[in-house]
Structure 1
Amino acid sequence: MALSLVSKCFASIPLHPNPRLRTAAAAMSSASAQRVLQLKVDPLTGSSEWVVIEEEDDGGAEASQDFQKSFLARTSYLDMLNDSYRNRCFREAIEKTVTQPCHVLDIGAGTGLLSMMAAQAMTQNESPVHSTKGIVTACESYLPMVKLMRKVLHINGTGRNISIINKRSDEVSVDIDIRSRADVLVSEILDSELLGEGLIPTLQHAHDILLVKNPQTVPYQATIYGQMVECNYLQKLHDLYSYENEASDGIHLVPAGMESILRVARQQYPMHCDAISKEIKLLSEPFKIFEFNFWRRPESSREIALRVKATADGQAHAIVSWWVLQLDWDGSIFYTTAPGWISSQNNSNARSWCDHWKQCVWFIHGEGLPLSKEEDASILAVHSETSISYQLEADCQYAEGDYHITLSPERIAIYGDCQWRCSILKAMRNAFQRRVPSLCVVADDSIFLAILVAHLSPQSRVMAFFPGLHENGSRYLQAVADANGFTMEHVEVLGRRLMSLTMHETHQREVDLLIAEPFYIANNGMLPWHNLRFWKERTNLTSVLSKDALVIPCKGILKVCAMSLPDLWNSRHSLDKIEGFDHSVVNTTLGACGDAAEDSPCLPFSVWQCGEVKEISKTYTLMEFNFSMEMHSCFGKTEVKFSEDGTCHGLVLWIDWVMDKEASMVTSTGPGTRYWKQGVKLLRRPVIVENNGSIIANRACSLAVEASFNSTNGELSIKHSS
């Protein structure tokens, strides 16, 4: 489980490619002990701080220990360790490859699972005739995982057989860190795209410095495949211009001739494509893109021109890609991340739902590429050291100086959603019927709201914080002002330079209207209640709010629903033995659910992508946050009654934003939409429900749920009992 890229640079922390971390850690050494600097973000302010994790803080530093657990629970380590098909494939391939005592190097060792497999394989193949002893070197750069690995090795009695190096592999040297080059490389430094965890530079350094000539490797090679598809949902995730034209509300986030001013990054996006398989029309057979051989030094970059024949008429909106891993040299052990419509054709390679490896989606620009059956499409595939990209005839080339704002695909889809826009527009028009604001403050990163107010009320002054956009937000508004019928004379972008406003900054005007969606770029992928940052912003602005100021949304409602989530629960249940190796010691640290674990944390997931999903209760209100008041800690409870047969695996929580006092306009972030992540609290034990809501084992028909919101750190504590 590689972290080989973690400490290379601090500047790229928010965009770090390693999906198991979702944030960054930077390693540094000191004279007394190893330590790690890990970034901690305050969800209420967006500010960040570096938390120091010491080598020797196991017995003390309670705050550091709690933060490590919280951080590691949000990674994909547990999900990966629960991937039994992956574990079996690696064990079989390692046993087949390590047939005699040798030097095995495990890069990105994680909990040491592959290292223990290699050590065991050598022990099984030791001959009394040979006196040579095998060596396993486990290289792991991330200090918290090193500490966890030591515990795993200890309880399995393999600590003396495996040498741990707490460094990035490209910092390791022969004769200094290891006594000889390794004969065998075992590693799992792969992400959904294959290359994002630094596979190529890691292999290059290993072949140059750490491995013998012509080494054996597990895996042996990987092949990337792709398929052209038509899917309106995938188009909606990037083509705002086409869908905005259907809104007819007079707002132009992407005016004609400026289609690229708001766009998604030109990259592949991990996605569970099986969740939208019924909406996908296949327009080609699978085609081979790149092959990567682990047993030889890879090139830093390549490109290949492909001619792909269309198998049906349609509009190609995206390329869906996946990889097939050949783990052994003779090609009998395979693992694939292929979508269900591919992997179901070969049941021997089928795997259970897991979140750590998904398919990848590359969006074809604009309305896509029109295809006719039997027509050839030209695709230029290019890979760098860490990513893969595609160029098609439909793609436009953006000039280097082309000004734009990059948003997530989900944010692009929200801004193109007619129903969402209509709801926001109606709320604002109703507000203006009561009072035309002299001064409106946009507290979040909503460019839509800033334009909407300036468009509907040109005489009002608009001040936008845009904490995640800063000057880019100002430049963007200037660029689209004419198309939206306003001038920048009455619009000012404050950026994040002010934590609050005084009458001096507002030019002696009181704020009549305070609005937000709420949406903060820094909170992308976080828990839904972290957007209560808006409540913090509202509190900071108390001194400049007029007595009858409108605050939109006027409140947030925390909702809860009991759900059957078998795939997600199985991917995060507590570990016992993995291929014979005891991993029970990691359960608490990695936030497992199940009998052998403690209370599991509430984690952000897009529930609609979590495999098999079923609601087994109605939706209940758990807590309300009243934005007419200053921010304060609060408590709520409810009884969630089961209404459907099934198995309850957890609680799903989200926030509904109430846009007006009459509650006639509500925007929900619940599982019925695809734009937001929900909070998921998995039960320690699944509850089987039958016969109109009765629980077989516990003789109850509901769960008592309590929530406590801490206004000092923005965190929400969830407790439940049957």
Structure 2
Amino acid sequence: MFLKRIVYFSRKTLHLYLQSSTMSTFTSRINMVTGNNEWIFVDDDDFDYNQELARSAFADMLHDHERNIQYEQAIIKTIQTLSKSTKKIHVLDIGTGTGLLSMMAARAFNQTINSSCSLRITACEVFQPMAKIAKKCIEKNALSHCIRVIDKRSTELDLENDLQGDRINIIVAEVFDTELIGEGALRTFSEACKHLTIDNENLRIIPARATIYVQLVQSSFLQEFHTLKNLSETNQKIKIPDGCRHLAGNTIFDLNANEIKNYIRPLSKPIPVFDFDFKSLNDKTNFTKEKILENIQCDYDGQIDAFVMWWNLDMDEQGEIQLGTIPSWCYDDKEKEENVQWREHWIHAIYYPQQPKIVKAKDQVSLYCFHDEYSLYFDVGISPFPPKSFTPTFLSRSAVAGFNNDNRRNKYIQALEKSFSNTSINRCLYIGDGLLLPLLILEMYPNIELIILQSSNIHLAHTLEEILTNSSKQLNYRIIPSLDKENIDFQTIDMILSEPFFTKSILPWDNLHFYYLIQQYHHSNIKLFPSKARIRCIALEFDNLYKIRSPVNQCCQFDLTPFDEQILQASLNVDATIEPQSLFEYSSKKPTLSSIIDLIEIDLDKISQKNKIETINLDIPFNVDGICNGIAFWIDYQLEDNIWLTTGIENENDSWVNYSKQGVHLLLKPIEIKTGMKLSINAAFDFQQGQFSFNIIS
């Protein structure tokens, strides 16, 4: 199982034999900031191997204490029960990973009192580097004699050649994701039961069954990630057409809903929508099912803005051992609500109706439910799949939230009013994939000529054209595909603007791409908006996020250091020190450990700095006692004097913005700190490469 939300870079590698006969690697990538195609030399024969291995990290799953305990309890119960009625137990562990569940099975069997029963365990793992790690972990725990690891998919196992005709009577697997079925769990169990197991009556699967639940909720916060709202409710020159409102599409929005529960108002009780018995799955419809649940009662007045989805597993056949992703607000027990297990590998899924629906308390609605082999879909009423208004994804959820965010809008409005009141501006150039700023300019200043460059996302260019042609007033604009003399005369441009936002950006400073696009065209008479940028940071004690990079060491008394050693080393070899995360989803201790620190300030008017590397050495002073396990980074833009727009937080202990990801450096070795202590760091910005770097000085 792979950790969700890890970013995959598209790389093409070229291997060159050098005279020394060693193999070195050059990696081609597009620099997201400068836009240049670059070949990067990697002095590592195993670059591709290490990159794949680093991507397979799932330490947060191994840190999931509840998951591990419930799996082991179900394994112990099943083996103890089955050993009383059979002479032979053959366990198939599907997607073994570190081999943890196989080792649990071996230990459970060793604790049984039936000496006449024999045990065999087959663990399959298709990802070969992880299969090697599983073998090392199993050997480390002295269990190689009873566990065999095969580096194949379970659907590729041959009963005779791989299992020597010895049929399976226990399947144990953790092949679930946020949607339960997104990793192919249905086919995995179905194929194993069809080809590898004994009769259903004597077969045990762990987990045995699953139920998917949804809840109707009201949440303007969640709607901000889905539906573009108009620029104003009155005096609209520009109105968003219905066909352009859902640019994030109908896809799942996965997030840890427990962190935003104060923004969610349930309108109904949890509704069970789909049940799966893993040893009796029907593949005749290709694992597709749709149904309509009638008479779903709404408990409160409100508007159905979204559906929150989660699932629950019956780990044993009797359903006595339960494991699930139930949201914290659904617990009756206050103590359980406050101590819900944090997990990143299984979070919550948000789905949206085609149209929000206003309801009254005691109203009854129909709920349309659909699933195929890998995904789910829900709507209020009778709604055939795919929905008539199905929209592909043109914008990320966070970009939609950025368009809708009132504080962000107001900053732009204030800055535009200040910019256009102090200068004579007739012709402007807008650069970027953002929709908000060009619409605001044309809404507020219809007499200004606006040239819009949208070259990296042709779908957004078409969407912007559709919105503007729908305007109630003739607007003075044109959309161009590139910056060249045929499209634009820079001597006539008074102002260049950007939000800045580009759909391909990953880290906050990647959006400086607009600065590099205008390098050869900018001259002193052109006003820039924004005019400055600053990269900032703050030291944090994350409650849980640090676990995704933390060594496991021991898990359920099993030694997993081979996993730590290989995964951590692979990550050190290929991963950047700063990764993107949406920090509004992850809690941290308050007050923050440090104040906000300004690292690098970039004057965007100065083109001459493009060959410069700006470095800074400074100390981050700690204001409180705690454990520093992460440093968060973001970028602010000066739109006008004293008007700064943030992609992080405005002040210490503020909430993180939900419309941009931040950069996070997670410390491999958290630091216990006391008030007054300092952390020495080095930061640099390479203007030629557009790259920000950061190091802790030990």
TM-score range, shorter chain: 0.7 to 0.9
Instruction: Write out per-residue CA displacement over residues 154-201 of structure 1, whole angstroms, 9 at most, x where no aligned residue.
Output: 433344543333333333333344433432211111111211112222
**2:394, 2:667 → 1: CA distance?**
37
> What is residue 675 of structure 1 aligned with on the other side?
659
Task: Pick closer, same or farther for the CA change 1:438–1:148 going to 2, 3 Å.
Answer: farther
Mapping for residues 48-197 of structure 1, pairs under 5 Å: 61-64=45-48, 67-68=51-52, 71-72=55-56, 77-99=58-80, 100=83, 101-125=88-112, 129=116, 134-140=120-126, 142-159=127-144, 161-180=146-165, 181-197=167-183
Structure 1 contact 659–667 (Cα < 8 Å) conserved? no
Question: Where does residue 605 of structure 1 map in the other structure?
Answer: 581
Change (3 A) 1:117 1:600: farther
Q: Work out whether residues 78 and 590 of structure 1, in 8 Å CA contact, stay in contact via their aligned partners in 2.
A: no
Deviates more, 1:629-638 or 1:393-402: 393-402
Q: In structure 2, what is the Cα distance between the partners aligned to 1:199 and 1:103?
A: 21
SS at match of 2:536: strand
The one of 174, 187, 199 aligned to 1:213: 199
Aligned partner of 1:357 in structure 2 is: 346
Amino acid at match of 2:528: V
Relative to 1, partners in 2 of residues 1:408 and 1:717: Cα closer, same or farther, differing over 3 Å?
same
Partner in structure 2 of residue 529 of structure 1:
509
* Structure 2 contact 537–597 (Cα < 8 Å) conserved: yes
Alignment of 1:664 onto 2:643: yes
Match of 1:706 among 677, 682, 691: 682
Structure 1 contact 413–675 (Cα < 8 Å) conserved: yes
Asked if the contact 1:82–1:572 (Cα under 8 Å) also holds between the matched residues in 2, the reply is no
The answer to whether the 8 Å contact 2:238/2:470 transfers is no
1:576–1:583 Cα contact (<8 Å) kept: yes
For residues 511-526 of structure 1, the aligned pairs below 5 Å read 512-523=494-505, 526=506
What residue in structure 2 maps to residue 503 of structure 1?
A: 485
When the two structures are aligned, how many residues end up with a matched partner? 656
Corresponding position: 1:654 with 2:640 = no
Distance in 1 between residues matched to 2:560 and 2:99, nearest whole Å: 10
1:458-501 CA distances to partner (integer Å, 9 max, x unpaired)? 5635141341x21552354145334164558x51341xxx6xx4
Whether 1:625 and 2:606 are equivalent positions in the alignment is no
562-571 or 102-111, larger mean C-alpha shift: 562-571
Match of 2:262 among 267, 273, 278: 278
Counterpart residue type for residue 342 of structure 2: W
Contact 2:190-2:279 at 8 Å conserved across structures: no
Paired AA for residue 669 in structure 1: G
The DSSP-based 3-state class of the residue aligned with 1:659 is strand
Instruction: Tell me if the contact between 1:186 and 1:217 (Cα under 8 Å) persists in the aligned partners.
Output: yes
Distance 1:645 1:133, change over 3 A: closer
| Cα contact 2:446–2:475 (8 A) shared by 1 | no
CA distance in 2 between counterparts of 1:134 and 1:402 reads 49
Identify the range of structure 1 (396-405 vs 433-442) with the bigger mean alpha-carbon deviation: 396-405
Alpha-carbon distance between aligned partners in 2 of 1:440 and 1:19, rounded to the nearest angstrom: 38
Partner Cα separation in structure 1 for residue 627 and residue 73 of structure 2: 34
- Picking from 556, 563, 572, the partner of 2:540 is 563
Q: Does the CA-based 8 Å contact 1:364-1:395 persist in structure 2?
A: no
The 1:296–1:396 alpha-carbon spacing in structure 2 relative to 1, beyond 3 Å, is closer
Residue pair 1:89, 1:335 contacting (<8 A) in 2 also: yes
The SS at the match of 1:284 is: coil
Q: 1:296 & 1:45 partners in 2: Cα distance?
A: 54
Q: Deviations over 1:58-112 (max 9, x none)?
A: x95154355346544xx5x111111011111111212222345433222222222
The structure 1 residue matched to 2:429, chosen from 437, 440, 447, is 440
User: 2:22 maps to what in 1?
Assistant: none
- Aligned-partner Cα distance in 2 for 1:172–1:277: 44
Query: Does the CA-based 8 Å contact 1:704-1:721 persist in structure 2?
Result: yes
Structure 2 counterpart SS, 1:98: helix
CA distance in 2, matches of 1:79, 1:48: 35
Task: For residue 587 of structure 1, give the secondary structure of its aligned residue in structure 2.
Answer: helix
Give 1:308 deviation, angstroms: 1.6
Give 1:577 deviation, angstroms: 0.9
Tell me how far apart the structure 2 counterparts of residues 590 and 48 of structure 1 sit (CA, whole Å): 29
Distance change in 2, residues 1:576/1:272 (3 Å):
same
For the 8 Å contact 1:226–1:319, the answer to whether it is kept is yes
Residue 263, structure 1, aligned to residue 247, structure 2: yes
Identical amino acids, percent of aligned pairs: 24
- How many Å separate the matches in 2 of 1:285 and 1:320? 11
- Contact 2:579–2:665 (CA<8 Å) still a contact in 1? yes
Change (3 A) 1:478 1:567: closer
Task: Quote the offset at 1:578 in angstroms.
Answer: 0.6
Residue pair 1:566, 1:649 contacting (<8 A) in 2 also = no
Q: What is the rounded CA distance, in whole Å, between the counterparts of 1:711 and 1:155 in structure 2?
A: 48
Conserved 8 A contact 2:615-2:685? yes
Distance 1:707 1:580, change over 3 A: same
In the alignment, which residue of structure 1 is the partner of 2:616? 636
Q: CA deviation at 1:345?
A: 2.6
Give the 3 Å change call, closer, same or farther, for CA 348–504 of structure 1 in structure 2: closer
The counterpart of 1:309, out of the listed 297, 301, 318, is: 297
SS of residue matched to 1:323: strand
Partners of 1:427 and 1:665 within 8 A in 2: no
Q: Deviation digits for residues 395-437 of structure 1, max 9, x if unmatched?
A: 8999758877643332222212233123223434544453435
The worse-fitting range, judged by mean Cα deviation, of 119-128 and 276-285 is 119-128
Q: Give the conservation status (yes or no) of the 8 Å contact 1:450–1:462.
A: no
User: After the TM superposition, which residues 536-555 of structure 1 pair with which residues of structure 2 at under 5 Å, given as runs?
Assistant: 537-555=514-532
Q: Which residue of 1 aligns with 2:554?
A: 577
- How far is 1:338 from its partner? 0.8
Structure 2 counterpart of 1:35: none
Over the aligned positions, Cα root-mean-square deviation in angstroms equals 3.9
Q: Deviations over 1:622-652 (max 9, x none)?
A: 1223333454543234332233455443222
Show CA shifts across 1:269-310 (max 9, x none). Answer: 222222222233222222211111122224512223222212
1:240 corresponding residue in structure 2: 228
Q: Which residue of 2 aligns with 1:391?
A: 379
1:61 aligned counterpart, secondary structure:
coil
Distance 1:641 1:301, change over 3 A: same
In structure 2, the partner of 1:371 is: 359
CA distance in 2, matches of 1:133, 1:185: 13
Task: Report Cα offsets for 1:109-168 as digits up to 9, x if no partner.
Answer: 2222222223333454596546x551313232x344334334433433344543333333
Aligned with 2:238: secondary structure? coil
Which amino acid is 2:348 matched to? Q
Are the structure 2 counterparts of residues 48 and 598 from structure 1 closer, same or farther at C-alpha, using a change threshold of 3 Å?
A: closer
> Cα 1:283–1:439, aligned 2, differ >3 Å: closer, same or farther?
closer
CA offsets 1:241-264 (integer angstroms, 9 cap, x no match): 3x6434x68563614xx3544433
Cα 1:178–1:509 shift into 2, 3 Å: farther
From 273, 287, 293, the equivalent of 1:289 is 273
Match of 2:451 among 455, 462, 468: 462
Q: Which runs of 5+ in 2 are unaligned?
A: 12-26, 650-654
TM-score by length of 1: 0.80
* Distance in 1 of aligned mates of 2:31 and 2:196: 41
Change (3 A) 1:437 1:374: same
Letter in 1 for 2:429: C
